[in-house]
């Protein structure tokens, strides 16, 4: 069973959180390189890679994945300034999405070689953690074939996404992750084509249940379900300056 070190960063500007992920990935890549460069007779059983799980909430921001299309951002720079929304082109997979207050963003920095070397299984595992979490609130999440993330009412004309996902993986170490809409202001999705999908909508836990949701409670449940799905110990850490 692996140990995953958990930090809740609170409100974190997107660029700062991204830099932290990149730094943690670099630490992991260095640890793996050192292990591979050590003679086999002197190696420990496994690389000394440290796993992390970061939760945070971002000020309003649109992020575009490396395979995304700029035309899915429906407003110009002037309008972004009026909306007080920043914009980033990122190195994750996927198209465009929104992050903002009322949303739980999760960034797992895991060495998948110590879990399983299957990126598809990793994405399904992230989805499973979200599906189990929202089930605590009576919301039935599902997967949509051909689309990552967690959806509701799949196979109907009402299909809608409640959690978006996009990751980057280098030598089996992951960054980026998922964004679960809890009490998110859904109006910000009107200014983009979310995930580049034109025929389906987005939703939040608040919208589905008709009431504000205790975000800390959702975080606590999600952290536990993440540990269960990945068969890992989730170990809280004191937040240091980042």
Please give the positions annotated as active site: 195
CB 182 within 8 A of CB 212: no
Where on the phi/psi map is residue 83: left (φ > 0), alpha (ψ -120 to 50), or beta? alpha
H-type helices in 37-116, by residue range? 77-83
Distance between CA 139 and CA 205 in Å, rounded? Answer: 8
Cα–Cα distances in angstroms (integers) from residue 218 to residues 129, 215, 226, in the given order = 12, 5, 12
CB 103 within 8 A of CB 130: no
Rounded to the nearest 10 degrees, how much is the dihedral formed by the CA atoms of 208, 211, 212, 216? -70
> Cβ contacts of residue 229 below 8 Å, gap of 6+?
125, 128, 129, 132
Rounded to the nearest 10 degrees, how much is the dihedral formed by the CA atoms of 210, 214, 220, 221? -20
> Cβ contacts of residue 149 below 8 Å, gap of 6+?
127, 161, 162, 163, 164, 165, 178, 195
Q: Which of 2, 167, 200 is nearest to 94 (CA)?
A: 167
Q: What does residue 211 show for φ and ψ, rounded to 5 degrees?
A: -160, 155
């Amino acid at each position: 069973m692996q140990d995953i070190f958990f930090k809740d960063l609170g409100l974190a500007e997107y660029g700062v959180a991204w830099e932290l992920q990149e730094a943690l990935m670099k630490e992991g890549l260095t640890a793996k390189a050192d292990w591979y460069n050590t003679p086999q007779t002197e190696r420990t059983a496994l690389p000394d890679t440290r796993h992390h799980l970061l939760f945070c909430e971002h000020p309003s921001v649109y992020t575009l994945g490396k395979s995304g299309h700029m035309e899915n951002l429906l407003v110009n720079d002037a309008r972004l300034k009026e909306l007080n929304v920043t914009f980033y082109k990122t190195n994750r997979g996927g198209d465009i999405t929104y992050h903002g207050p009322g949303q739980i963003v999760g960034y797992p920095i895991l060495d998948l070689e110590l879990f399983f070397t299957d990126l598809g299984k990793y994405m399904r595992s992230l989805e499973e953690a979200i599906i189990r979490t929202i089930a605590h609130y009576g919301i039935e999440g599902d997967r949509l074939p051909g689309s990552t993330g967690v959806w509701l009412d799949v196979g109907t004309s009402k299909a809608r996404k409640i959690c978006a996902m996009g990751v980057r993986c280098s030598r089996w170490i992951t960054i980026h992750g998922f964004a679960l809409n809890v009490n998110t202001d859904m109006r910000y999705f009107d200014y983009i084509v979310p995930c580049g999908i034109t025929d389906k909508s987005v939703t939040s836990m608040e919208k589905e249940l008709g009431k504000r949701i205790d975000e800390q409670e959702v975080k606590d449940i999600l952290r536990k379900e993440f540990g269960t799905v990945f068969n890992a110990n989730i170990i809280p850490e004191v937040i240091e300056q980042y």
